[in-house]
Amino acid sequence: MAEKKEKPVDWEKLGEKAKKVNSDLGQALKELGNQNVTDFFHNVADLFRKKQQPQKSLDDIAKANSELIDKRILERERTTGQKFGAGRFRIVLDGDIFNLITELYFKDPEGQWLEVKGSYASPVSSLTEESRQTLEAQKELTYPIEPPSAD
């Protein structure tokens, strides 16, 4: 069963819409001689984005996903009789977003290998500054997935 893909909020698109409204309002206010209001709206939009999606480190993301992946592996083994063999978790930069990609390999009771993949995208702006710089420099981080313990 494929993992459910959640559609991420397109902060850039939302930001562009806010900029357009802001620009139109800013133009009107400029004509009235009040540029500070435009700056105020830009700051409010930035604060709103940060409040809606707190910034995370790559380590926090990897740890949270590791725990979730372990639970999914154990559940799949328990419900299907398949045995986990190997896997990897990747964080891949793709422009203004980064993809979290999980690739898991299971052996079914008949000895056939099955690949189970899932991915999720998030905006780069949701990363801490240090994590953003790391990902921009490396482009992709790969973590091997070890068999989880059943305890």
**Which residues is 22 bridged to in the sheet?**
none
Answer yes or no: do 122 and 136 share one domain. Answer: yes
- If asked whether residues 48 and 78 sit together in one domain, one would say no
Tell me, yes or no, whether 62 lies in a domain: yes
The string of pLDDT tens digits covering residues 70-101 is 998 999 999 989 999 999 999 999 998 889 99
In-domain check, residue 101: yes
| 150, part of any domain | no
Domain containing residue 62: 58-144
b/e map 69-89, b = 16+ CB within 10 Å: bbebbbebbeeeebebeebeb
100 and 125 co-located in one domain = yes
Strand partners of residue 94:
97
**Is residue 67 located within the same domain as residue 15?**
no
Q: Do 72 and 42 sit in the same domain of this protein?
A: no
Asked if residue 45 has pLDDT above 90, the reply is: no
Same domain, 71 and 131: yes
Higher per-residue confidence, 19 vs 61: 61
Mean pLDDT of 28-52: 50
pTM of the model: 0.61
Domains contained in the chain, number: 2
Two structure tokens written together for 74: 């154990």
pLDDT of 15 reads: 59
Residue 5 lies in a domain: no
115 and 46 within one domain: no
Shared domain check, 62 and 30: no
Is 6 inside a domain boundary?
no
